Amino acid sequence: MPSTPTAETPRRGGTLIVSLAADPPHFDIHQQATSLTGVITAPVYNKLLSYDLATASKLVPDLAERWEATPDGLSFRFTIRAGVKSHDGQPFTAEDAAFNVQLLADPPKGTISNMSSLLKPTFKAVAVESGNVVRADFKEPYAPFLALLSTDYAPIYPKRVVEANGDMKKTPLGTGPFKFQSYTPGVSVELIRNPAYWKAARPYMDGVSFRVIKDPATRLAALRTGQVHLTGRAFSTLTVSEKETVQREVPNMNFFPSASLRGPWFFMNLRKPPFSDARVRRAVHLALDRNAALKVIAEGQGLAGNFFPYEGWGLSQDVLGSRPGFRQPKDADLAEAKKLLADAGFPSGFSVTILSRTNELTRKSAVFMAGQLQAIGVKAEVRVLEDALFFDSGRKAQHEAMVYTPGATIPDPVWIGSFFVKGGSFNFAGNDDDARLNTLWTEQVRTLDEAKRKGLVRQTEEYLWEALPAIPIAWVFEFLATAPQVRGVARGRSDIAENSLEEVWLAR
């Protein structure tokens, strides 16, 4: 009888080389929800909770060794793990945990928190209840709270360091498996092993080197020739054709689908003309050819753009396909779009500048949108900005329109709130005063019964198609790749929840 293969014994040592598509804007992931920051900081920090990497569906302890919620969903208690030290040798405490929940939910005035727009409306207070127990209270139930705490966007910072420096933008310092060593802009970010990590015998590797390789062709060549071990995080995912190319040249390369869907959305500034007029926004929606978008942007492998792409939460592809803006042929939609523009006072169209980030997917999508708008007489110019300028322009409403590529980062639809609700950290549309949307959103996140909550989410999506603060263009299927010697990379439920790299090792 053939022998049964035995599991490999993890090998210690070596440095994992990971490709980045651009420089991170900074290192404070509480304030900058881009994966360019998140993939770097995830190995530096721990969270209160995480997800079991084997099943990708079960919450497991991290810095909180256990937790409980009251039956009414208004209070959560976390028992904080003892004996954990930060990278500077100082102990991690319950005070650190409580401080970070406060920082996420209701930060000091002038401090950005990516999650505050989601948590603050229902958040009440957090405090160290006794010894190592932290209690978080809400004014109303908040269904996605634990899911949010499990993401890499909710790391635990040392309270004393944030209070001394004001933020964590320059030098990450946490309790995680790897320690920040150096950053050379345009070159790399270097992490080294934390020898005092609280999880026994982890991590396996000596370090992680995040290499900034902005050119897609150069990045692909680095993967093919073994100069990079892992690609697929932080805008370095592979398209279908890139995967097929590498697969032909390196047959033993490992590929797996990205856990998160990512896709371009067209954001319009609702605070000023022409997009303050709902007729103009609907004209753009009608003009967009979704079939062409899938071919050009997603290489035929993706989903037509909708607000909630995960099964069971949003409108199905079949339902969308029969609706105006999605249906084929486009003749009726284009005729209605031109009439709407004329009714809004733009019979000959208008000119607009579309902002884009530097990554390939966003640039390609912005150029595609500019071409689509020509069909209704709108002349569009694409302007590409580095991330810091791009986000600053969006948050200060200095743009006319912009293409941004949200990631459907967790299967819970809570992530979309930051784009549309009052005070949302990515509310590039500027529709803070949409009372109907804010009410719908608040009602669904405080509903603990999942079936009822899904019904409210569908109502919210129908309203978003009516108000159109943004237009989802497409969702793109992308792939991660690991070199043949890489072991232990998990494909979890989200690309922003399983990036600690503590289980990863190099076979040679």
pLDDT at 3: 41
Token pair of 165 as six digits: 């420096």
Among the listed residues 293, 279, 298, 417, the one whose alpha carbon sits nearest the alpha carbon of residue 336: 279
Assign domain 1-44+176-258+478-508 to its CATH superfamily. Answer: Periplasmic binding protein-like II (3.40.190.10)
pLDDT at 260: 66
Q: Which residues contact 146 (CB under 8 A, 6 or more apart)?
A: 49, 59, 67, 69, 76
What span, in angstroms and rounded, lies between the C-alpha atoms of 456 and 27? 36
Contact 349, 376 (CB under 8 A): yes
Phi, psi of 65 (to 5 degrees): -80, -20
- Residue-wise pLDDT for 433-456, tens only, equals 889 998 998 888 888 888 999 999
pLDDT at 232: 66
pLDDT at 277: 97
Among the listed residues 249, 248, 243, the one whose alpha carbon sits nearest the alpha carbon of residue 226: 249
What span, in angstroms and rounded, lies between the C-alpha atoms of 239 and 295? 12
pLDDT at 187: 97
Contact 51, 59 (CB under 8 A): yes
pLDDT at 495: 56
pLDDT at 5: 44
pLDDT at 478: 79
Q: Which residue has the tokens 């697969």?
A: 247
Residue 138: strand, helix, or coil = strand
Phi, psi of 165 (to 5 degrees): -100, -20
Alpha helices in 250-289 (DSSP H): 278-287
Alpha helices in 176-252 (DSSP H): 216-224, 240-249
Domain ranges of the chain: 1-44+176-258+478-508, 45-165, 261-476
Q: Average pLDDT of the chain?
A: 89
pLDDT at 280: 98
CA quadruple 44, 148, 27, 354: dihedral sign: positive
* Burial of 317 (C-beta count, 10 Å sphere; 0-12/13-18/19+): middle
Report whether CATH 3.10.105.10 matches the domain 261-476.
yes
Contact 30, 157 (CB under 8 A): yes
pLDDT at 442: 85
- Residue-wise pLDDT for 270-287, tens only, equals 999 999 999 999 999 999
Question: 45-165 architecture in CATH?
Answer: Alpha-Beta Complex (3.90)
The DSSP 8-state label assigned to residue 324 in this structure reads T
Q: Which residues sit opposite 129 in a β-bridge?
A: none
H helix or E strand, kind and range, residue 392: helix 387-395
pLDDT at 4: 42
Residue ranges of the chain with pLDDT lower than 70?
1-6, 33, 54-57, 232-235, 259-260, 408-411, 491-498
